[in-house]
């Protein structure tokens, strides 16, 4: 959640984190690039930016942005986790 309202098309680095993962063999968080696709009084709509490889500009800061394969693996584990 955020009160920020980025211009449509703005690329933002966002951290996704699993908070209840019992599997210590996988990363519990990754950084992804997202693009603002809508905004209104209810918040901001973001879309994942999937890149086959991540350029140096996306890797500034302590947590580099993930590439397409890393994002897909992380999200697959998230979707498969039991409720």
Chain segment 15-64, per-residue pLDDT in tens: 888 776 565 555 678 888 899 999 888 888 999 888 776 565 545 555 67
pTM of the model: 0.62
Tokens 């690329």 sit at which residue? 11
- In this predicted structure, what is the pLDDT of residue 81? 61
pLDDT reported for residue 76: 83
pLDDT at 71 over 90: no
The answer to whether residue 15 is domain-embedded is yes
Does residue 45 lie in a domain region? yes
Number of domains composing the chain = 1
Residue 73 lies in a domain: yes
Domain membership flag for residue 1: no
pLDDT at 55: 60
Distance CA 13, CA 36 (A): 11
Q: What is the pLDDT of residue 10?
A: 92
Contact 35, 49 (CB under 8 A): yes
The pLDDT of residue 37: 95
Expressed as residue numbers, the domain containing 56 is 11-80
Q: Look at residue 44 and tell me if it is in a domain.
A: yes
């Amino acid at each position: 959640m955020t009160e920020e309202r980025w211009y449509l098309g703005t690329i933002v680095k966002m951290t996704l984190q699993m908070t209840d993962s019992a599997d210590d063999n996988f990363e519990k968080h990754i950084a992804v690039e997202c693009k603002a696709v809508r905004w209104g009084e209810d918040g901001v709509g973001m879309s994942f930016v999937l890149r086959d490889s991540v350029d140096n500009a996306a890797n500034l800061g302590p947590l580099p942005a993930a590439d397409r394969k890393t994002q897909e693996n992380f999200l697959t584990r998230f979707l498969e986790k039991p409720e």
